């Protein structure tokens, strides 16, 4: 049998050991937190010390991807509209760049400015000579034009002084001076006149701006941009000259219309009468 004093000693040692273990649990941070912060009824339980002591979390490669937050449908609609607007703006910028390049190419291809009209008698004579007029004839034309201009100024001065400016007498006198004056086109001919208009920066071609469906011009194939080189054998340099030519001769008779389209010269046949086109004016280098 075990002596009584041995049993008492063994019990004392066991009590001491159990007390030490209890004191160690109370000193652990998780235990201390649970003691200091009692859990309210119905609240979730805090993790125990055993859970904290479990093995560390798995490696990064083993982690599950974080869930993407659900996007607000209204925000998604706004973003989609913004992206669409950006795409349209980019498209417009591309088109604008193309238009600017086209305009730049055309400006480079065309003369930067028209020649200035002659300001002095010497300049006018030189332009006539450059157009193919002989020097003697050019000098004579310039002198006669100067005399005609002085006669018109003197006529107006006389009418103002005597009080008949704007009257029938004044208009008849002006018309008489015009009949006596120099018709430069008749003096030098159509070829030199055409060249002279071009060299002095004047419009020298009647152009087709647009056509009327069902018209004689549309049936003949005239297109916007065509230049009228001749009509029924005459060369029109102004709108009124072309309109006058369409009213001459016999209405409905077929006449030739010579047109310039780009680098080509074409001929079409139309019945004499209204062409059915809207006309414009432009400056073009005379054909050789």
Taking residues 79-108, report their average pLDDT: 76
For the chain, what is the radius of gyration of the CA atoms?
52
Q: Does residue 247 lie within any of the structural domains?
A: yes
Q: Does residue 154 lie within any of the structural domains?
A: yes
Q: How far is CA 95 from the centre of its chain?
A: 7
Q: Does residue 10 lie within any of the structural domains?
A: no
Nearest-CA neighbor of 120 among 203, 200, 204, 202? 200
Taking residues 176-188, report their average pLDDT: 84
Count of domains observed in the chain: 2
Q: Does residue 194 lie within any of the structural domains?
A: yes
Q: How far is CA 245 from the centre of its chain?
A: 39
Co-location of 128 and 195 in the same domain: yes
Which pLDDT does position 168 carry in this prediction? 95
Q: How many angstroms separate the CA atoms of 17 and 5, rounded?
A: 19
Co-location of 191 and 254 in the same domain: no
Domain around 175: 121-199
Co-location of 165 and 234 in the same domain: no
Which pLDDT does position 63 carry in this prediction? 53
Out of 16-20, 199-203, 221-225, 256-260, pick the least confident.
16-20
Task: Find residue 95's DSSP bridge partners.
Answer: none
| CA angle at 284 for the pair 101 and 113, rounded to the nearest 5° | 55
Out of 52-61, 161-170, 227-236, 247-256, pick the least confident.
52-61
Q: How many angstroms separate the CA atoms of 218 and 214, rounded?
A: 6
CB hemisphere CA count around 58 (13 angstroms): 4
Q: How many angstroms separate the CA atoms of 232 and 246, rounded?
A: 9
pLDDT band at residue 74 using 50, 70 and 90 as cut-offs: confident
Co-location of 126 and 195 in the same domain: yes
37 vs 124, which has greater pLDDT? 124
pLDDT band at residue 65 using 50, 70 and 90 as cut-offs: low
pLDDT band at residue 83 using 50, 70 and 90 as cut-offs: confident
170 by Cβ neighbours in 10 Å (0-12 / 13-18 / 19+) ranks as middle
Q: Does residue 48 lie within any of the structural domains?
A: no
Mapped onto helix, strand or coil, the DSSP state of residue 272 is coil
156 vs 180, which has greater pLDDT? 156
Co-location of 179 and 235 in the same domain: no
Mapped onto helix, strand or coil, the DSSP state of residue 58 is coil
Taking residues 219-236, report their average pLDDT: 96
């Amino acid at each position: 049998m075990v002596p009584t004093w041995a049993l008492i000693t063994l019990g004392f040692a066991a009590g001491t050991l159990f007390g030490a273990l209890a004191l160690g649990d109370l000193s652990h941070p998780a235990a201390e937190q649970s003691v200091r912060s009692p859990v309210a009824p119905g609240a979730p339980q805090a993790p125990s010390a055993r859970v904290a002591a479990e093995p560390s979390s798995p490696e990064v490669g083993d982690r599950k991807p974080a869930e993407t937050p659900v996007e607000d449908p209204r925000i998604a609609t706004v973003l989609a509209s913004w992206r669409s607007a950006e795409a349209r703006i980019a498209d417009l910028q591309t088109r604008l760049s193309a238009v600017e390049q086209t305009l730049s190419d055309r400006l480079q291809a065309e003369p930067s400015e028209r020649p200035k009209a002659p300001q002095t008698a010497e300049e006018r004579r030189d332009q006539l000579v450059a157009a193919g007029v002989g020097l003697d004839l050019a000098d004579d034309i310039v002198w006669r034009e100067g005399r005609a201009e002085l006669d018109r100024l003197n006529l107006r001065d006389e009418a103002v002084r005597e009080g008949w400016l704007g009257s029938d007498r004044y208009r008849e006198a002006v018309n008489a001076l015009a009949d006596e004056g120099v018709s430069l086109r008749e003096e030098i001919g159509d070829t030199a006149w055409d060249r002279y208009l071009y060299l002095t920066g004047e419009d020298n071609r009647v152009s087709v701006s647009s056509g009327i469906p069902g018209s004689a011009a549309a049936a003949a194939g005239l297109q916007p941009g065509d230049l009228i080189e001749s009509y029924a054998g005459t060369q029109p340099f102004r709108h009124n000259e072309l309109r006058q030519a369409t009213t001459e001769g016999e209405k409905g008779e077929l006449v030739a219309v010579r047109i310039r389209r780009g680098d080509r010269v074409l001929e079409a046949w139309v019945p004499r009468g209204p062409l059915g086109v809207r006309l414009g004016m432009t400056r073009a280098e005379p054909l050789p």
